[in-house]
Amino acid sequence: MSSKDIAVSVRGLSKSYTIAHNVEKHSTMGEAMLHRFKNPLQRAEKETFWALRDVEFDIEQGDVVGIIDAMAWGKRLPQNPQPDYGADKG
């Protein structure tokens, strides 16, 4: 495969999320500030969740790419996406 055939090249793609555990939920800003004032040294336990870590891939010209979202619905990405200006939505 030559570099001319590659439409998209991805290297070192990573995505992480910080998840806080044991966090008290407050309904107002005043409650949150009062809790913080009463417990100044209390910190939430945090965990790092890596959804992607150091992913690499190439997409060649002419390839069709699909993405599965959280609801497991497939999404097809057209090669040349065109804006949908004023299309009939009915």
Q: What distance in Å separates the CA atoms of residue 19 and residue 48, rounded to the nearest whole number?
A: 6
Read off the amino acid at residue 33.
Answer: M
The pLDDT assigned to 83 comes to 55
* Residues facing residue 9 across a β-bridge: 58
Locate 29 and state its tokens: 């800003």
Give the pTM: 0.52
How far apart, in Å, are the Cα atoms of 67 and each of 31, 54, 75, 85? 42, 18, 5, 24
The pLDDT assigned to 50 comes to 94
The pLDDT assigned to 64 comes to 85
How far apart, in Å, are the Cα atoms of 58 and each of 12, 24, 30, 79? 12, 44, 51, 15
Q: What is the pLDDT of residues 25-75, one digit of tens each?
A: 888 999 988 988 888 888 888 999 999 999 999 999 989 887 777 776 655
* Domain boundaries defined on the chain: 3-77
